[in-house]
Amino acid sequence: MTITVPFVDLKAQYATIRDEIRDAMTAVLEETAFIQGPHVEGFERTFAERLGVAHCVGCSSGTSALTLALEAVGVRPGDEVITVSHTFFATAEAILGLGAVPVFVDVRADTHLMDPEAVASAVTPRTRAIVPVHVYGGPCDMDAIGAIAARHGLKVVEDAAQAHLATCQGRMVGTLGDAACFSFYPGKNLGAYGDAGAVTTADPALAVRMRSMRDHGRAAKYEHDAVGHNHRMDGLQGAILAVKLRHLDGWTEARRRAAALYDRHLGDLGLSGIRPGPGCRPVHHLHVVELPEGIDRGALQAALQAQGIATGVHYPIPCHLQPAIDGRPGSLPVTERLAGRILSLPIYPEITEAQIAHVCRALRDALVPQPA
């Protein structure tokens, strides 16, 4: 029997919730509640309750969530926003889209997360906000980042696109800044069946502003207070997300078991998954290992692919070195070194012990010289 291991397996998950999804979608179709409406409102309410935050504003993607949140906290053209380069491009894109300037800081070598010391030295009189990214599903050091923000009067917008239900010191990601942005892209831990996103906040005024801005800056049906966007969430996505949210705790525990199993198999090779700081419970959106010096990553990925194993790299080109941004090579040494050495192994709630064992066996065969 040959085992194959896809990088994610959305079909396996769909098979477990097919009937619930069909009923939820049928309800939206029967009600023709296609844009926003009761199914989106229902999801917003339950997601806010699960996180323990007052407000959730559903929107069209994680990227539009970042745009809405940054705009609402007052980021204006020319403002500086401190963030990391070791993230998906959308984090920087949302800042640039507002005419603001992303100021990239390095990550910590152990956690791969925003380095608070680097943030402290990047603050200038033009800094307006900080965007920590809970990359791989691991919470950033929000106490340290929050203290810097408080000292300088800066806003904090979490990029929680990969970190639904992650906690630090028992506090939930999505409640640790002025606002937090979630993506429900299909492959995320909580994924819609299309594009969708949300912003959470404890601040009622921010929530009101974002609800207006996601819907053409509307105050009433044909009265526009501001020039906004069309960043609304579809009714179908709201209904699907409400179904999937009921399963998210179980799926998160399954990811934690998979990550622990990888570490058991690979710890002796020095290939443990990257973890956030003490007291934090990550949600393992990605299972990233750092390859030893001198390993040809492309050749390793090809060898794994030959065994039916799909892998990824998150991310091979840091934001500041993207052609669209064209920053200075050498300016972020940790980020740039990691980009060449990281490898993401398959992880999803439905991955089996046999699949994980197969990945680990293939990795060991490729990395450890075989006795003649």
Ligand X SMILES: *Cc1c(COP(=O)(O)O)cnc(C)c1O
Options 111, 162, 200, 237; binder of ligand X; rule CB under 6 A: 162
Q: 80 — alpha (psi -120 to 50), left (phi > 0) or beta? A: beta
Report in angstroms how near the CB of residue 359 gets to ligand X at its nearest. 22
Nearest residue (beta carbon) to ligand X: 62
CA geometry: angle 194, 197, 203, nearest 5 deg? 165
Options 36, 83, 85, 87; binder of ligand X; rule CB under 6 A: 87
Q: Which stretch binds ligand X (CB under 6 A): 60-68, 101-109, 244-252, 261-269?
A: 60-68
Report in angstroms how near the CB of residue 66 gets to ligand X at its nearest. 6
Phi, psi of 167 (to 5 degrees): -130, 160
Torsion angle defined by CA atoms of residues 12, 16, 18 and 23, in that order, rounded to the nearest 10 degrees: -150
Is residue 63 involved in binding ligand X (CB under 6 A)? yes
Options 161, 351, 359, 362; binder of ligand X; rule CB under 6 A: 161
Report in angstroms how near the CB of residue 286 gets to ligand X at its nearest. 9
- For ligand X, give the closer residue by CB, 133 or 271: 133
Per-residue binding string, ligand X, 223-242, x by CB under 6 A, is: --------------------
Is residue 136 involved in binding ligand X (CB under 6 A)? no
Report in angstroms how near the CB of residue 84 gets to ligand X at its nearest. 9
Of 299, 372, 361, 332, residue with least CA distance to 5: 361
Instruction: Classify 320 as helix, strand or coil.
Output: helix
Report in angstroms how near the CB of residue 65 gets to ligand X at its nearest. 7
Q: CA–CA separation, 60 vs 48, rounded Å?
A: 17
Instruction: Give 3-state DSSP helix, strand, coil % of the chain, rounded to 5.
Output: 40, 15, 40
Of 332, 327, 311, 267, residue with least CA distance to 112: 332
Report in angstroms how near the CB of residue 68 gets to ligand X at its nearest. 12
Is residue 318 involved in binding ligand X (CB under 6 A)? no
